[in-house]
Amino acid sequence: MNPPCAGRHYAKHIRHAIRFLKPGGYLVAILPRTAWEDHGELPGGGWDDLPVASFAESGTNVPTGIWTYRKA
């Protein structure tokens, strides 16, 4: 998923999507780097940084990464 990155709107989308996961299900999202570093709003999971300016062609230089979560 690619939730909105402005502010912390992504957190609401993540919490909503997790509700639909079955045990053992995965959720993968492209998120701003601050979601992983600063806000502490993501449940445990994995994080991989994307290359700098990955979305420059789309008009944004927000540092991003791929967050992966598996529901127990």
What is the predicted pLDDT for the residue at 54?
94
| Whether the Cβ atoms of residue 2 and residue 35 lie closer than 8 Å to each other | no
Q: Mean of the pLDDT values across residues 16-41?
A: 91
Q: How confident is the model at residue 37 (pLDDT cuts 50, 70, 90)?
A: confident
pLDDT of residue 6: 80
pLDDT of residue 51: 96
For residue 60, give Cα distances in angstroms to 53, 63, 72.
Answer: 7, 9, 34
Torsion-angle region of 11 (φ positive above 0: left; ψ -120 to 50: alpha; else: beta): alpha
How many angstroms separate the CA atoms of 35 and 7, rounded? 10
Q: How far apart are CA 65 and CA 33, in angstroms?
A: 6
Better-predicted residue by pLDDT, 15 or 40: 15
